[in-house]
Amino acid sequence: MTQPERLPDFPTGGCAVVIGGSGGIGRAIAVQLAERGCDVALNYFSGPGRAEETASLVRGAGREVHVAKVDLRDEPMVKEFVDDASEHFGGVHTAIYAAGPYIPMRFIGQQPAAAFREVMEHDTFGCFHLIQAALPHLRASKGSFTAIVTPAIRRYAVRDILSAAPKAAIEQLVKGLAAEEGRFGVRANAVGVGVITDGLYHALVESGDFDQRFLDASRQAMALKRLGTADEVAEGVVFLASSRARWITGQTLMVDGGYAL
Ligand SMILES: NC(=O)c1ccc[n+]([C@@H]2O[C@H](COP(=O)([O-])OP(=O)(O)OC[C@H]3O[C@@H](n4cnc5c(N)ncnc54)[C@H](OP(=O)(O)O)[C@@H]3O)[C@@H](O)[C@H]2O)c1
């Protein structure tokens, strides 16, 4: 029996755009994409030094990298970044949304409305801007879009509304995108990230929002009884973005140690 021809995981031309490339999860994704042969365009918002560290890891994996400041709230700026990346690398085959602001954990009754509005602006509208900017390029390349969300959209964790609410809207955007754009060959999926010891974790420990009691309870609530890492999250993201997942669209994969079961 002849074996079916194996597609490369990612096209050889064009690039992967990683929004949140200066962050903990975005960095792990950018590096794994580079290790699998992708050139990468990544952004920062307030951390040019962190973006440069990611860029040097991408170069270390033998790939080219383009870095720019992008504020996701600024629709034209997002579009310019994605268009520039496409022009520079000759197309965009992969768009990853792995950004989001710091989110103080409070009960809904104690969250100021301004904090709720701000997180929706950065996170949900930010993701919406990226989708609109990336879509023409993804149609041209029959590419994929993958967004980070949270398992709290399945199993709510108290005080986590600033994560759960924008990510629930993002999951719906992803499903809509999958349903509407599949006929153009574009796929869209999401990855729900449980508590990991990278990225936002450090600021949440420093602020006291992640105290020992919270971390012990989180571990206990997970089937695998341990916190995860950004690298483990990136494995799921890169799989969904790659041609190995070419018949998977509109799905949310929980990479959460079994929290949302
Ligand atoms: N870590 C976790 O345990 C966990 C769990 C579930 C979900 N998540 C979600 O996963 C996403 C990434 O988290 P992370 O842990 O990697 O956090 P992180 O290390 O703080 O990274 C956040 C990234 O978002 C960027 N960013 C923030 N606001 C932006 C804006 N307005 N425009 C453009 N970029 C912006 C940051 O840029 P600068 O650093 O340059 O400012 C950074 O690259 C977030 O949405 C987070 O809520 C994380």
Q: Of all atoms in ligand 1, which is nearest to the CA of residue 123? A: 45
pLDDT above 70 covers a percentage of the chain that reads 98
Q: Is the pLDDT reported for residue 5 higher than 90? A: no
pLDDT given at position 7: 81
pLDDT given at position 88: 97
Could you tell me the strand order of the sheet in which 92-97 lies? 65-69, 39-44, 15-19, 92-97, 144-149, 187-193, 252-255
Q: Is the pLDDT reported for residue 1 higher than 60? A: no
Is residue 181 within a helix (H) or strand (E), and if so which, with residue range? helix 161-181
Q: Is the pLDDT reported for residue 162 higher than 60? A: yes
Q: Of all atoms in ligand 1, which is nearest to the CA of residue 27? A: 16
Full-model pTM: 0.97
Q: Of all atoms in ligand 1, which is nearest to the CA of residue 151? A: 6
**C-beta of 195 in contact with ligand 1 (< 6 A):** yes
Ligand 1 mean position to 71 CA, how many Å?
A: 12
147: β partners: 97, 190
How are beta strands 252-255 and 187-193 bridged, if at all? parallel
Is 15-255 a domain of CATH 3.40.50.720? yes
Q: Whose CA is nearest to atom 47 of ligand 1?
A: 100
- 37-73 confidence digits (pLDDT tens): 999 999 999 999 999 999 999 999 999 999 999 999 9
pLDDT above 90 covers a percentage of the chain that reads 97
Q: Of all atoms in ligand 1, which is nearest to the CA of residue 195? A: 3
**C-beta of 196 in contact with ligand 1 (< 6 A):** yes
- 75-108 confidence digits (pLDDT tens): 999 999 999 999 999 999 999 999 999 999 999 9
The span from the CA of 89 to the CA of 152, in Å, is 36
pLDDT given at position 6: 78
Q: Whose CA is nearest to atom 37 of ligand 1?
A: 45
Instruction: Tell whether the torsion through CA atoms of 226, 232, 233 and 239 is positive or negative.
Output: negative
**C-beta of 81 in contact with ligand 1 (< 6 A):** no
Query: Tokens for 223?
Result: 């089937």
pLDDT given at position 3: 64
Mean pLDDT (the chain) is 96
**C-beta of 47 in contact with ligand 1 (< 6 A):** yes
The span from the CA of 202 to the CA of 215, in Å, is 12
Exposure letters 8-46 (e unless 16+ CB within 10 A, then b): ebbbeebbbbbbbbbbbbbbbbbbbbbbbebbbbbbbbe
The span from the CA of 246 to the CA of 249, in Å, is 8
Quote the DSSP letter at residue 3: P
Ligand 1 mean position to 97 CA, how many Å?
A: 9
Q: Is the pLDDT reported for residue 2 higher than 70? A: no
pLDDT given at position 4: 62
